[in-house]
Structure 1
Amino acid sequence: MTLYPIEAGNFKLDGGAMFGVVPKSLWNRTNPADSNNMIDIAARCLLIEDGDRLILIDTGMGDKQSEKFFSYYYQWGDHSIDKSLKKYGFHRDDITDVFMTHLHFDHCGGSIQWNKNKTGYEPAFKNARFWSNKEHWEWAVKPNAREKASFLKENILPMQESGQLNFLKREGDNRIQNYKELGFGVLFVDGHTDKQMIPHIDYKGKKLVFMADLLPTAGHIPLPYVMGYDTRPLLTLPEKKNFLETAASENYYLFLEHDAHNEIITLKHTEKGVRLDKTHTFAEIFN
Protein backbone atom coordinates (compact mmCIF):
# COMPACT_ATOMS: atom_id res chain seq x y z
CA MET A 1 0.00 0.00 0.00
CA THR A 2 1.13 3.53 -0.81
CA LEU A 3 -0.61 6.76 0.21
CA TYR A 4 -0.52 10.11 -1.56
CA PRO A 5 -1.94 13.45 -0.33
CA ILE A 6 -4.10 15.00 -3.05
CA GLU A 7 -4.73 18.74 -2.97
CA ALA A 8 -8.11 19.51 -4.53
CA GLY A 9 -8.01 23.28 -4.01
CA ASN A 10 -8.00 25.93 -1.29
CA PHE A 11 -10.81 28.28 -0.38
CA LYS A 12 -12.04 30.42 2.52
CA LEU A 13 -14.93 30.14 4.96
CA ASP A 14 -16.33 32.47 7.60
CA GLY A 15 -14.35 32.02 10.79
CA GLY A 16 -17.37 32.49 13.01
CA ALA A 17 -19.24 29.73 11.19
CA MET A 18 -16.20 27.47 11.50
CA PHE A 19 -15.94 27.94 15.27
CA GLY A 20 -19.56 28.29 16.38
CA VAL A 21 -19.96 29.88 19.81
CA VAL A 22 -16.21 30.34 20.42
CA PRO A 23 -15.24 34.06 20.42
CA LYS A 24 -13.06 35.34 17.60
CA SER A 25 -10.50 36.57 20.13
CA LEU A 26 -9.77 32.89 20.85
CA TRP A 27 -9.99 31.14 17.48
CA ASN A 28 -8.20 33.96 15.66
CA ARG A 29 -4.98 32.93 17.44
CA THR A 30 -4.78 29.63 15.57
CA ASN A 31 -6.84 30.43 12.46
CA PRO A 32 -6.32 34.12 11.68
CA ALA A 33 -9.09 35.78 9.72
CA ASP A 34 -8.78 38.30 6.89
CA SER A 35 -10.61 41.62 6.68
CA ASN A 36 -13.80 39.78 5.63
CA ASN A 37 -13.60 37.44 8.65
CA MET A 38 -12.67 34.56 6.32
CA ILE A 39 -10.11 31.89 7.26
CA ASP A 40 -7.96 29.66 5.06
CA ILE A 41 -9.44 26.24 4.29
CA ALA A 42 -8.05 23.33 2.29
CA ALA A 43 -9.72 20.49 0.42
CA ARG A 44 -7.01 17.90 1.04
CA CYS A 45 -7.94 14.44 -0.19
CA LEU A 46 -6.08 11.14 0.11
CA LEU A 47 -5.22 8.55 -2.55
CA ILE A 48 -4.63 4.93 -1.57
CA GLU A 49 -2.73 2.71 -4.00
CA ASP A 50 -3.28 -0.89 -2.93
CA GLY A 51 -2.40 -3.51 -5.53
CA ASP A 52 -4.52 -2.76 -8.58
CA ARG A 53 -6.86 -0.49 -6.59
CA LEU A 54 -6.66 3.30 -6.52
CA ILE A 55 -9.02 4.61 -3.85
CA LEU A 56 -9.60 8.35 -3.58
CA ILE A 57 -11.01 9.66 -0.30
CA ASP A 58 -13.16 12.76 -0.97
CA THR A 59 -12.90 14.97 -4.06
CA GLY A 60 -13.24 18.62 -3.00
CA MET A 61 -15.87 20.94 -4.46
CA GLY A 62 -15.04 20.48 -8.15
CA ASP A 63 -15.35 23.19 -10.81
CA LYS A 64 -18.84 22.84 -12.30
CA GLN A 65 -20.69 25.36 -10.13
CA SER A 66 -21.45 28.90 -11.25
CA GLU A 67 -19.17 31.90 -10.94
CA LYS A 68 -21.59 33.32 -8.37
CA PHE A 69 -21.35 30.12 -6.30
CA PHE A 70 -17.56 30.18 -6.22
CA SER A 71 -17.53 33.89 -5.38
CA TYR A 72 -18.77 32.96 -1.90
CA TYR A 73 -15.73 30.78 -1.22
CA TYR A 74 -12.78 32.93 -2.28
CA GLN A 75 -10.75 30.19 -3.94
CA TRP A 76 -6.99 30.73 -3.80
CA GLY A 77 -3.87 28.92 -4.96
CA ASP A 78 -3.48 26.66 -7.98
CA HIS A 79 -4.15 23.21 -6.56
CA SER A 80 -6.42 20.74 -8.38
CA ILE A 81 -7.10 17.03 -8.30
CA ASP A 82 -5.77 16.58 -11.81
CA LYS A 83 -2.48 18.34 -11.01
CA SER A 84 -2.05 16.33 -7.82
CA LEU A 85 -2.78 13.02 -9.53
CA LYS A 86 -0.38 13.88 -12.36
CA LYS A 87 2.35 14.63 -9.81
CA TYR A 88 2.25 10.97 -8.78
CA GLY A 89 1.83 9.59 -12.29
CA PHE A 90 -1.93 9.01 -12.22
CA HIS A 91 -5.00 10.17 -14.14
CA ARG A 92 -8.57 10.41 -12.90
CA ASP A 93 -9.52 7.53 -15.22
CA ASP A 94 -7.15 5.31 -13.18
CA ILE A 95 -9.25 5.74 -10.04
CA THR A 96 -11.09 2.51 -9.15
CA ASP A 97 -12.97 3.74 -6.07
CA VAL A 98 -14.11 7.09 -4.66
CA PHE A 99 -14.90 6.99 -0.94
CA MET A 100 -16.94 9.94 0.29
CA THR A 101 -16.77 10.74 3.99
CA HIS A 102 -20.06 12.58 3.50
CA LEU A 103 -21.94 14.34 0.73
CA HIS A 104 -21.50 18.03 1.54
CA PHE A 105 -20.45 19.86 -1.63
CA ASP A 106 -16.89 20.61 -0.45
CA HIS A 107 -16.26 16.88 0.02
CA CYS A 108 -17.98 15.33 -3.00
CA GLY A 109 -18.48 18.08 -5.60
CA GLY A 110 -15.43 16.95 -7.55
CA SER A 111 -16.98 13.51 -8.05
CA ILE A 112 -19.36 14.81 -10.73
CA GLN A 113 -18.67 17.02 -13.74
CA TRP A 114 -20.49 18.52 -16.71
CA ASN A 115 -20.81 16.26 -19.74
CA LYS A 116 -19.03 17.30 -22.95
CA ASN A 117 -21.89 19.50 -24.21
CA LYS A 118 -22.84 20.86 -20.78
CA THR A 119 -26.34 19.46 -21.16
CA GLY A 120 -26.11 17.30 -18.06
CA TYR A 121 -23.81 15.73 -15.52
CA GLU A 122 -21.62 12.64 -15.45
CA PRO A 123 -19.13 10.99 -13.07
CA ALA A 124 -15.74 12.69 -13.11
CA PHE A 125 -14.18 9.27 -12.43
CA LYS A 126 -15.71 7.10 -15.11
CA ASN A 127 -14.11 3.83 -14.01
CA ALA A 128 -14.70 4.21 -10.27
CA ARG A 129 -17.19 2.84 -7.80
CA PHE A 130 -18.58 5.54 -5.51
CA TRP A 131 -18.91 4.60 -1.83
CA SER A 132 -21.36 6.08 0.68
CA ASN A 133 -23.74 4.47 3.17
CA LYS A 134 -27.49 4.14 2.83
CA GLU A 135 -28.37 6.14 5.94
CA HIS A 136 -26.29 9.12 4.94
CA TRP A 137 -27.48 8.89 1.34
CA GLU A 138 -31.11 9.13 2.46
CA TRP A 139 -30.18 12.04 4.72
CA ALA A 140 -28.58 13.83 1.75
CA VAL A 141 -31.24 13.27 -0.92
CA LYS A 142 -34.00 14.35 1.47
CA PRO A 143 -32.13 17.20 3.18
CA ASN A 144 -33.27 19.12 6.22
CA ALA A 145 -33.54 22.89 5.86
CA ARG A 146 -30.32 23.48 7.78
CA GLU A 147 -28.18 21.37 5.42
CA LYS A 148 -30.05 21.85 2.16
CA ALA A 149 -27.48 24.33 0.83
CA SER A 150 -24.69 21.79 1.42
CA PHE A 151 -26.37 18.82 -0.30
CA LEU A 152 -26.51 19.76 -3.98
CA LYS A 153 -28.48 17.31 -6.10
CA GLU A 154 -26.16 17.76 -9.09
CA ASN A 155 -23.30 16.43 -6.91
CA ILE A 156 -25.23 13.46 -5.63
CA LEU A 157 -27.92 12.02 -7.93
CA PRO A 158 -25.63 11.37 -10.96
CA MET A 159 -23.69 8.84 -8.86
CA GLN A 160 -26.79 6.72 -8.55
CA GLU A 161 -28.01 7.38 -12.10
CA SER A 162 -24.68 6.17 -13.50
CA GLY A 163 -24.97 2.82 -11.69
CA GLN A 164 -21.63 3.45 -9.97
CA LEU A 165 -23.00 4.02 -6.45
CA ASN A 166 -22.30 1.49 -3.70
CA PHE A 167 -23.28 1.46 -0.05
CA LEU A 168 -21.24 0.29 2.93
CA LYS A 169 -23.31 -1.41 5.58
CA ARG A 170 -22.88 -0.33 9.17
CA GLU A 171 -22.84 -3.18 11.64
CA GLY A 172 -23.39 -2.90 15.38
CA ASP A 173 -22.36 0.02 17.57
CA ASN A 174 -19.92 2.88 17.13
CA ARG A 175 -16.77 0.80 17.10
CA ILE A 176 -14.58 1.01 14.01
CA GLN A 177 -16.00 -1.10 11.19
CA ASN A 178 -13.46 -2.89 9.01
CA TYR A 179 -14.27 -3.19 5.32
CA LYS A 180 -12.36 -5.78 3.31
CA GLU A 181 -13.64 -4.25 0.07
CA LEU A 182 -11.73 -1.04 0.89
CA GLY A 183 -8.85 -2.26 3.03
CA PHE A 184 -9.38 0.16 5.92
CA GLY A 185 -11.60 0.74 8.92
CA VAL A 186 -14.37 3.33 9.27
CA LEU A 187 -15.70 5.16 12.32
CA PHE A 188 -19.27 6.44 11.92
CA VAL A 189 -20.07 9.75 13.61
CA ASP A 190 -23.31 11.72 13.62
CA GLY A 191 -22.65 15.15 15.15
CA HIS A 192 -21.63 17.04 12.01
CA THR A 193 -24.05 15.22 9.72
CA ASP A 194 -25.76 11.85 9.87
CA LYS A 195 -23.38 8.87 9.42
CA GLN A 196 -20.24 10.75 8.44
CA MET A 197 -17.48 8.17 7.85
CA ILE A 198 -13.95 8.62 9.23
CA PRO A 199 -11.34 6.31 7.59
CA HIS A 200 -8.70 4.63 9.80
CA ILE A 201 -5.75 3.36 7.77
CA ASP A 202 -2.87 1.17 8.97
CA TYR A 203 0.18 2.37 7.06
CA LYS A 204 3.89 1.77 7.62
CA GLY A 205 3.35 0.76 11.23
CA LYS A 206 1.25 3.82 12.06
CA LYS A 207 -2.47 4.58 12.31
CA LEU A 208 -3.44 7.39 9.95
CA VAL A 209 -6.93 8.82 10.39
CA PHE A 210 -8.59 10.95 7.71
CA MET A 211 -10.39 13.50 9.86
CA ALA A 212 -12.94 15.00 7.43
CA ASP A 213 -15.22 17.27 9.52
CA LEU A 214 -14.80 15.55 12.88
CA LEU A 215 -11.68 17.72 13.32
CA PRO A 216 -11.47 20.29 10.48
CA THR A 217 -8.25 22.04 11.57
CA ALA A 218 -5.67 21.89 14.34
CA GLY A 219 -7.40 24.91 15.84
CA HIS A 220 -10.50 22.81 16.55
CA ILE A 221 -8.87 20.49 19.11
CA PRO A 222 -10.40 22.02 22.30
CA LEU A 223 -13.76 20.34 22.89
CA PRO A 224 -16.02 23.44 22.74
CA TYR A 225 -14.50 24.44 19.38
CA VAL A 226 -17.33 22.96 17.32
CA MET A 227 -18.37 24.24 13.91
CA GLY A 228 -21.58 26.18 13.51
CA TYR A 229 -22.26 23.85 10.58
CA ASP A 230 -22.68 20.80 12.83
CA THR A 231 -26.29 19.64 12.95
CA ARG A 232 -25.97 18.06 16.41
CA PRO A 233 -23.23 19.94 18.30
CA LEU A 234 -24.09 18.27 21.60
CA LEU A 235 -23.44 14.93 19.94
CA THR A 236 -20.23 16.18 18.36
CA LEU A 237 -18.85 16.84 21.86
CA PRO A 238 -18.79 13.22 23.13
CA GLU A 239 -17.83 11.87 19.70
CA LYS A 240 -14.92 14.27 19.54
CA LYS A 241 -13.91 13.70 23.18
CA ASN A 242 -13.84 9.93 22.80
CA PHE A 243 -11.90 10.09 19.56
CA LEU A 244 -9.32 12.63 20.73
CA GLU A 245 -8.59 10.71 23.92
CA THR A 246 -8.06 7.51 21.94
CA ALA A 247 -5.94 9.33 19.36
CA ALA A 248 -3.68 10.82 22.04
CA SER A 249 -3.33 7.54 23.93
CA GLU A 250 -2.62 5.44 20.83
CA ASN A 251 -0.52 8.03 18.96
CA TYR A 252 -2.74 8.31 15.91
CA TYR A 253 -1.57 10.50 13.05
CA LEU A 254 -4.43 12.79 12.08
CA PHE A 255 -4.67 13.76 8.40
CA LEU A 256 -6.43 17.13 8.28
CA GLU A 257 -8.65 17.64 5.26
CA HIS A 258 -9.47 21.29 5.87
CA ASP A 259 -6.36 22.73 7.54
CA ALA A 260 -4.60 24.71 4.80
CA HIS A 261 -1.38 24.98 6.81
CA ASN A 262 -1.07 21.68 8.69
CA GLU A 263 -1.23 18.33 6.90
CA ILE A 264 -0.85 15.95 9.82
CA ILE A 265 -0.90 16.38 13.60
CA THR A 266 -0.42 14.25 16.69
CA LEU A 267 -2.00 14.83 20.08
CA LYS A 268 -1.05 14.59 23.76
CA HIS A 269 -2.82 14.47 27.11
CA THR A 270 -2.47 17.59 29.29
CA GLU A 271 -4.05 18.94 32.48
CA LYS A 272 -6.41 20.95 30.24
CA GLY A 273 -7.39 17.90 28.22
CA VAL A 274 -6.14 16.65 24.88
CA ARG A 275 -4.03 19.21 23.07
CA LEU A 276 -1.78 19.49 20.02
CA ASP A 277 1.51 17.66 20.34
CA LYS A 278 3.28 18.11 17.00
CA THR A 279 2.53 19.17 13.43
CA HIS A 280 3.98 17.18 10.55
CA THR A 281 4.13 17.18 6.79
CA PHE A 282 3.09 13.98 5.08
CA ALA A 283 6.60 13.58 3.67
CA GLU A 284 8.21 13.83 7.11
CA ILE A 285 6.24 10.91 8.45
CA PHE A 286 5.76 8.56 5.53
CA ASN A 287 8.48 9.16 2.93
Structure 2
Amino acid sequence: MTLYPINSGNFKLDGGAMFGVVPKSLWSRTNPADENNMIDLTARCLLIEDGNRLILIDTGMGNKQSDKFFGYYYMWGNDSIDSSLEKHGFHRDDITDVFLTHLHFDHCGGAIQWNKDRTGYEPAFKNADFWSNKDHWDWAVNPNAREKASFLKENILPIEESGRLKFTDIPKGDMLKNSALDFDVFFADGHTDKQMIPMINYKGKTICFMADLLPTAGHLPLPYVMSYDMRPLLTLNEKEKFLNMAADNGFYLFLEHDAYNEVITVKHTEKGVRLDQVLSANEVFN
Protein backbone atom coordinates (compact mmCIF):
# COMPACT_ATOMS: atom_id res chain seq x y z
CA MET A 1 0.00 0.00 0.00
CA THR A 2 1.09 3.54 -0.79
CA LEU A 3 -0.58 6.80 0.25
CA TYR A 4 -0.51 10.13 -1.59
CA PRO A 5 -1.89 13.56 -0.58
CA ILE A 6 -4.07 15.01 -3.34
CA ASN A 7 -4.85 18.73 -3.20
CA SER A 8 -8.04 19.45 -5.12
CA GLY A 9 -7.96 23.22 -4.58
CA ASN A 10 -7.92 26.01 -2.00
CA PHE A 11 -10.68 28.32 -0.80
CA LYS A 12 -11.69 30.66 2.02
CA LEU A 13 -14.55 30.69 4.50
CA ASP A 14 -15.70 33.07 7.20
CA GLY A 15 -13.59 32.45 10.29
CA GLY A 16 -16.48 33.05 12.65
CA ALA A 17 -18.56 30.38 10.91
CA MET A 18 -15.65 27.97 11.08
CA PHE A 19 -15.23 28.41 14.84
CA GLY A 20 -18.80 28.90 16.07
CA VAL A 21 -19.11 30.56 19.47
CA VAL A 22 -15.34 30.93 20.00
CA PRO A 23 -14.24 34.61 19.91
CA LYS A 24 -12.06 35.78 17.03
CA SER A 25 -9.41 36.92 19.51
CA LEU A 26 -8.85 33.23 20.29
CA TRP A 27 -9.28 31.39 16.97
CA SER A 28 -7.28 33.98 15.00
CA ARG A 29 -4.14 32.93 16.89
CA THR A 30 -4.05 29.71 14.88
CA ASN A 31 -6.14 30.68 11.84
CA PRO A 32 -5.59 34.38 11.05
CA ALA A 33 -8.28 36.10 9.01
CA ASP A 34 -7.99 38.58 6.16
CA GLU A 35 -9.74 41.97 5.98
CA ASN A 36 -13.02 40.21 5.10
CA ASN A 37 -12.77 37.86 8.09
CA MET A 38 -11.99 34.95 5.73
CA ILE A 39 -9.51 32.22 6.64
CA ASP A 40 -7.42 30.08 4.29
CA LEU A 41 -8.65 26.51 3.79
CA THR A 42 -7.96 23.68 1.41
CA ALA A 43 -9.64 20.52 0.13
CA ARG A 44 -6.90 17.93 0.66
CA CYS A 45 -7.95 14.47 -0.50
CA LEU A 46 -6.13 11.18 0.06
CA LEU A 47 -5.21 8.58 -2.55
CA ILE A 48 -4.66 4.95 -1.51
CA GLU A 49 -2.84 2.64 -3.91
CA ASP A 50 -3.52 -0.88 -2.66
CA GLY A 51 -2.93 -3.76 -5.06
CA ASN A 52 -5.29 -3.37 -8.01
CA ARG A 53 -7.31 -0.72 -6.21
CA LEU A 54 -6.76 3.03 -6.40
CA ILE A 55 -9.03 4.64 -3.82
CA LEU A 56 -9.64 8.40 -3.64
CA ILE A 57 -11.06 9.74 -0.37
CA ASP A 58 -13.19 12.83 -1.10
CA THR A 59 -12.98 14.95 -4.25
CA GLY A 60 -13.17 18.65 -3.36
CA MET A 61 -15.66 21.04 -4.98
CA GLY A 62 -15.00 20.17 -8.61
CA ASN A 63 -15.36 22.81 -11.32
CA LYS A 64 -18.90 22.57 -12.70
CA GLN A 65 -20.51 25.29 -10.59
CA SER A 66 -20.98 28.86 -11.81
CA ASP A 67 -18.50 31.70 -11.39
CA LYS A 68 -21.01 33.28 -9.00
CA PHE A 69 -20.98 30.14 -6.84
CA PHE A 70 -17.20 29.96 -6.67
CA GLY A 71 -17.09 33.71 -5.98
CA TYR A 72 -18.54 33.00 -2.54
CA TYR A 73 -15.53 30.83 -1.68
CA TYR A 74 -12.60 33.00 -2.78
CA MET A 75 -10.70 30.27 -4.61
CA TRP A 76 -6.91 30.71 -4.52
CA GLY A 77 -3.83 28.87 -5.76
CA ASN A 78 -3.39 26.58 -8.75
CA ASP A 79 -3.95 23.12 -7.26
CA SER A 80 -6.42 20.69 -8.81
CA ILE A 81 -7.16 16.98 -8.59
CA ASP A 82 -5.83 16.44 -12.11
CA SER A 83 -2.52 18.21 -11.54
CA SER A 84 -2.06 16.52 -8.17
CA LEU A 85 -2.81 13.06 -9.57
CA GLU A 86 -0.46 13.70 -12.48
CA LYS A 87 2.34 14.66 -10.08
CA HIS A 88 2.13 11.13 -8.67
CA GLY A 89 1.84 9.46 -12.07
CA PHE A 90 -1.93 8.88 -12.10
CA HIS A 91 -4.97 9.96 -14.11
CA ARG A 92 -8.56 10.24 -12.89
CA ASP A 93 -9.49 7.29 -15.14
CA ASP A 94 -7.18 5.11 -13.02
CA ILE A 95 -9.35 5.58 -9.91
CA THR A 96 -11.27 2.41 -9.00
CA ASP A 97 -13.12 3.70 -5.91
CA VAL A 98 -14.18 7.11 -4.60
CA PHE A 99 -14.96 7.09 -0.89
CA LEU A 100 -17.04 10.09 0.18
CA THR A 101 -16.82 10.96 3.87
CA HIS A 102 -20.07 12.88 3.45
CA LEU A 103 -21.97 14.62 0.67
CA HIS A 104 -21.43 18.32 1.37
CA PHE A 105 -20.39 20.03 -1.85
CA ASP A 106 -16.78 20.70 -0.80
CA HIS A 107 -16.26 16.97 -0.26
CA CYS A 108 -18.15 15.42 -3.18
CA GLY A 109 -18.55 18.12 -5.86
CA GLY A 110 -15.59 16.81 -7.84
CA ALA A 111 -17.21 13.37 -8.17
CA ILE A 112 -19.53 14.64 -10.92
CA GLN A 113 -18.79 16.79 -13.97
CA TRP A 114 -20.59 18.20 -17.00
CA ASN A 115 -20.91 15.83 -19.93
CA LYS A 116 -19.15 16.73 -23.18
CA ASP A 117 -21.89 18.99 -24.59
CA ARG A 118 -22.93 20.36 -21.15
CA THR A 119 -26.47 18.97 -21.43
CA GLY A 120 -26.18 16.87 -18.30
CA TYR A 121 -23.84 15.33 -15.76
CA GLU A 122 -21.60 12.29 -15.64
CA PRO A 123 -19.11 10.74 -13.19
CA ALA A 124 -15.76 12.52 -13.21
CA PHE A 125 -14.09 9.16 -12.48
CA LYS A 126 -15.57 6.95 -15.17
CA ASN A 127 -14.12 3.68 -13.93
CA ALA A 128 -14.82 4.15 -10.23
CA ASP A 129 -17.43 2.96 -7.78
CA PHE A 130 -18.68 5.65 -5.38
CA TRP A 131 -19.02 4.83 -1.68
CA SER A 132 -21.40 6.38 0.85
CA ASN A 133 -23.71 4.83 3.46
CA LYS A 134 -27.48 4.42 3.30
CA ASP A 135 -28.36 6.60 6.29
CA HIS A 136 -26.23 9.53 5.14
CA TRP A 137 -27.43 9.16 1.55
CA ASP A 138 -31.07 9.38 2.66
CA TRP A 139 -30.18 12.38 4.86
CA ALA A 140 -28.55 14.15 1.90
CA VAL A 141 -31.25 13.54 -0.71
CA ASN A 142 -33.96 14.70 1.73
CA PRO A 143 -32.08 17.60 3.33
CA ASN A 144 -33.23 19.75 6.20
CA ALA A 145 -33.67 23.47 5.47
CA ARG A 146 -30.44 24.45 7.21
CA GLU A 147 -28.21 21.94 5.45
CA LYS A 148 -29.90 22.08 2.04
CA ALA A 149 -27.39 24.58 0.62
CA SER A 150 -24.57 22.09 1.21
CA PHE A 151 -26.31 19.10 -0.42
CA LEU A 152 -26.47 20.02 -4.10
CA LYS A 153 -28.58 17.60 -6.13
CA GLU A 154 -26.29 17.91 -9.16
CA ASN A 155 -23.46 16.51 -7.03
CA ILE A 156 -25.45 13.64 -5.58
CA LEU A 157 -28.22 12.28 -7.80
CA PRO A 158 -25.99 11.61 -10.86
CA ILE A 159 -23.93 9.24 -8.70
CA GLU A 160 -26.96 7.02 -8.18
CA GLU A 161 -28.04 7.41 -11.80
CA SER A 162 -24.63 6.15 -12.94
CA GLY A 163 -25.29 2.76 -11.36
CA ARG A 164 -21.92 2.95 -9.54
CA LEU A 165 -23.20 3.88 -6.07
CA LYS A 166 -22.25 1.50 -3.26
CA PHE A 167 -22.96 1.65 0.46
CA THR A 168 -20.72 0.65 3.35
CA ASP A 169 -22.14 -1.27 6.25
CA ILE A 170 -23.39 0.81 9.18
CA PRO A 171 -22.12 -0.40 12.57
CA LYS A 172 -24.23 -0.78 15.68
CA GLY A 173 -21.78 1.50 17.48
CA ASP A 174 -19.52 4.16 16.00
CA MET A 175 -16.73 1.96 14.60
CA LEU A 176 -16.86 -0.17 11.45
CA LYS A 177 -13.98 -2.63 11.39
CA ASN A 178 -12.55 -3.88 8.08
CA SER A 179 -14.85 -2.06 5.68
CA ALA A 180 -15.25 -3.20 2.08
CA LEU A 181 -12.24 -1.02 1.25
CA ASP A 182 -10.06 -2.71 3.91
CA PHE A 183 -9.84 0.20 6.33
CA ASP A 184 -11.74 0.93 9.53
CA VAL A 185 -14.33 3.72 9.63
CA PHE A 186 -15.37 5.90 12.59
CA PHE A 187 -18.95 7.16 12.21
CA ALA A 188 -19.76 10.63 13.56
CA ASP A 189 -23.16 12.33 13.64
CA GLY A 190 -22.41 15.81 14.98
CA HIS A 191 -21.39 17.58 11.79
CA THR A 192 -23.91 15.73 9.63
CA ASP A 193 -25.67 12.39 9.91
CA LYS A 194 -23.27 9.41 9.56
CA GLN A 195 -20.13 11.24 8.45
CA MET A 196 -17.38 8.63 7.91
CA ILE A 197 -13.79 9.02 9.15
CA PRO A 198 -11.44 6.49 7.45
CA MET A 199 -8.73 4.97 9.63
CA ILE A 200 -6.01 3.34 7.54
CA ASN A 201 -3.43 0.86 8.85
CA TYR A 202 -0.27 1.87 7.00
CA LYS A 203 3.26 0.63 7.73
CA GLY A 204 2.44 0.11 11.38
CA LYS A 205 0.80 3.53 11.69
CA THR A 206 -2.86 4.52 11.86
CA ILE A 207 -3.62 7.35 9.42
CA CYS A 208 -6.97 9.04 10.15
CA PHE A 209 -8.62 11.12 7.44
CA MET A 210 -10.30 13.71 9.65
CA ALA A 211 -12.79 15.27 7.21
CA ASP A 212 -14.99 17.70 9.18
CA LEU A 213 -14.62 16.06 12.59
CA LEU A 214 -11.37 18.08 12.89
CA PRO A 215 -11.16 20.55 10.00
CA THR A 216 -7.88 22.22 11.04
CA ALA A 217 -5.28 21.96 13.79
CA GLY A 218 -6.85 25.10 15.25
CA HIS A 219 -10.01 23.12 16.05
CA LEU A 220 -8.34 20.84 18.61
CA PRO A 221 -9.89 22.42 21.77
CA LEU A 222 -13.24 20.74 22.32
CA PRO A 223 -15.44 23.90 22.26
CA TYR A 224 -13.99 24.93 18.89
CA VAL A 225 -16.92 23.55 16.88
CA MET A 226 -18.03 24.86 13.51
CA SER A 227 -21.32 26.69 13.10
CA TYR A 228 -21.91 24.31 10.19
CA ASP A 229 -22.31 21.34 12.55
CA MET A 230 -25.91 20.12 12.81
CA ARG A 231 -25.52 18.75 16.35
CA PRO A 232 -22.70 20.73 18.01
CA LEU A 233 -23.04 19.11 21.45
CA LEU A 234 -22.72 15.70 19.84
CA THR A 235 -19.60 16.93 18.01
CA LEU A 236 -18.13 17.80 21.41
CA ASN A 237 -18.55 14.22 22.58
CA GLU A 238 -17.32 12.69 19.33
CA LYS A 239 -14.25 14.91 19.22
CA GLU A 240 -13.42 14.10 22.82
CA LYS A 241 -13.70 10.36 22.24
CA PHE A 242 -11.71 10.39 19.01
CA LEU A 243 -8.96 12.74 20.20
CA ASN A 244 -8.45 10.75 23.38
CA MET A 245 -8.19 7.62 21.26
CA ALA A 246 -5.71 9.40 18.96
CA ALA A 247 -3.54 10.56 21.88
CA ASP A 248 -3.64 7.14 23.53
CA ASN A 249 -2.66 5.28 20.37
CA GLY A 250 -0.39 7.73 18.54
CA PHE A 251 -2.67 8.16 15.54
CA TYR A 252 -1.61 10.41 12.66
CA LEU A 253 -4.39 12.88 11.83
CA PHE A 254 -4.54 13.81 8.14
CA LEU A 255 -6.25 17.21 7.92
CA GLU A 256 -8.52 17.76 4.94
CA HIS A 257 -9.14 21.50 5.36
CA ASP A 258 -6.00 22.86 7.02
CA ALA A 259 -4.18 24.84 4.35
CA TYR A 260 -0.83 24.77 6.15
CA ASN A 261 -0.73 21.64 8.34
CA GLU A 262 -1.04 18.34 6.48
CA VAL A 263 -0.68 15.82 9.30
CA ILE A 264 -0.57 16.23 13.08
CA THR A 265 -0.23 14.08 16.16
CA VAL A 266 -1.76 14.93 19.52
CA LYS A 267 -0.98 14.39 23.20
CA HIS A 268 -2.67 14.58 26.58
CA THR A 269 -2.10 17.78 28.56
CA GLU A 270 -3.62 19.41 31.64
CA LYS A 271 -5.87 21.39 29.27
CA GLY A 272 -7.00 18.29 27.41
CA VAL A 273 -5.75 16.82 24.13
CA ARG A 274 -3.51 19.30 22.34
CA LEU A 275 -1.13 19.48 19.40
CA ASP A 276 2.03 17.40 19.61
CA GLN A 277 3.76 17.27 16.20
CA VAL A 278 3.11 18.92 12.84
CA LEU A 279 4.33 16.76 9.95
CA SER A 280 4.25 16.79 6.18
CA ALA A 281 2.41 13.97 4.47
CA ASN A 282 5.66 12.87 2.86
CA GLU A 283 7.32 12.51 6.27
CA VAL A 284 4.52 10.22 7.44
CA PHE A 285 3.90 8.27 4.24
CA ASN A 286 7.49 7.55 3.18
TM-score bracket, normalised by the shorter chain, equals: over 0.9
Distance 1:171 1:47 in 2: 24
**Which residue in the other structure is 2:99 paired with?**
99
Q: Which amino acid aligns with 1:128?
A: A
* Count of paired positions: 286
**Alpha-carbon deviations, 1:51-92, whole Å to 9, x = none?**
010000000000000000000000000000000110111100
Q: Secondary structure at the match of 1:178?
A: coil
Distance 1:61 1:171 in 2: 28
Q: Which amino acid aligns with 1:164?
A: R
TM value normalised by structure 2: 0.99
The answer on 1:182 being equivalent to 2:181 is yes
Q: Which amino acid aligns with 1:211?
A: M
**Which residue in the other structure is 2:259 paired with?**
260
Q: Which amino acid aligns with 2:130?
A: F
Distance 1:220 1:69 in 2: 26
**Alpha-carbon deviations, 1:12-60, whole Å to 9, x = none?**
0000000000000000000000000000001000000000100000000
TM value normalised by structure 1: 0.99
Q: Secondary structure at the match of 1:237?
A: helix
CA contact 1:170–1:177 (8 Å) conserved in 2: no
**Which residue in the other structure is 2:200 paired with?**
201
**Which residue in the other structure is 1:227 paired with?**
226
Distance 1:31 1:106 in 2: 19
**1:262 Cα deviation after fit:** 0.2
Distance 2:251 2:129 in 1: 28
The answer on 1:278 being equivalent to 2:277 is yes
Q: Secondary structure at the match of 2:34?
A: coil
Q: Which amino acid aligns with 1:239?
A: E
CA contact 2:169–2:176 (8 Å) conserved in 1: no
**Which residue in the other structure is 1:65 paired with?**
65
Q: Which runs of 5+ in 2 are unaligned?
A: none
After TM superposition, the runs of 4+ consecutive aligned structure 1 residues lying more than 4 A away are none
**Which residue in the other structure is 2:153 paired with?**
153
Alpha-carbon RMSD: 0.6
Distance 1:171 1:241 in 2: 20
Q: Which runs of 5+ in 1 are unaligned?
A: none
**1:174 Cα deviation after fit:** 1.5
**Alpha-carbon deviations, 1:157-191, whole Å to 9, x = none?**
00000101011121321134321x20101010000
Distance 1:99 1:175 in 2: 16
Report % sequence identity: 75
